[in-house]
Amino acid sequence: MKRSGLLHPELSALVARAGHTQTIVLADIGLPIPAGTPRIELGVSAGLPGLLDVLSAVLDELVVERVTVARETRVHSPEWHACLLGTLEQTPGEITHEDLKAALPGALAVIRTGEVTPYANVILHCGVNF
């Protein structure tokens, strides 16, 4: 049994196999994930677990080069967006929600949380630790 860090076996394995420039997407409960795109389902019920809690746990172990969110997040969910900025070490880049959805098939995996905030989706671009 692991002593600390990511205890969920699929999340731990995902972070361990992530390579430079690959992407991992953290998603709210409603993001449509294309068929064939690897996914890890974490949602227990509406709001559980919250995306920011999962993000914090992933960021403790994953080297992140940059972050991308949909610009609609800032507009439609400003309070959540402000909390997101407090969680990240860098300011996220922005794309449209449609472009974010179009990027899903190229992701190493999509982690679906129980988050119920509109447009609460985050693309993590993996970095390298040297």
Condensed to tens digits (0 to 9), the pLDDT of residues 86-124 reads 999 999 999 999 999 999 999 999 999 999 999 999 999
- Structural domain includes residue 97: yes
Catalytic pick among 8, 20, 97, 125:
20
- Structural domain includes residue 65: yes
- Structural domain includes residue 34: yes
39-84 per-position pLDDT tens digit: 999 999 999 999 999 999 999 999 999 999 999 999 999 999 999 9
CATH at residue 86: 3.40.1650.10
- Structural domain includes residue 113: yes
- Structural domain includes residue 51: yes
Q: Using 50, 70 and 90 to split pLDDT, how confident is the model at 1?
A: confident
Q: How far is CA 45 from CA 38, 54, 68, 77, in A?
A: 21, 14, 26, 20
Given this model, what pLDDT does residue 2 score?
A: 83
Task: Name the token pair of 34.
Answer: 């294309």
Q: Using 50, 70 and 90 to split pLDDT, how confident is the model at 15?
A: very high
- Structural domain includes residue 81: yes
- Structural domain includes residue 16: yes
Given this model, what pLDDT does residue 128 score?
A: 96
Task: Name the token pair of 97.
Answer: 């929600």
| Domain that includes residue 84, residue range | 9-126
- Structural domain includes residue 1: no
Half-sphere exposure of 15 (CA within 13 A, CB side): 19
Please count the structural domains in the chain: 1
Instruction: Work out the percent of the chain whose per-residue pLDDT is above 90.
Output: 97
Residue with the larger pLDDT of the pair 3 and 25: 25
Catalytic residue at 20?
yes
Average pLDDT, whole number, for the chain?
Answer: 97
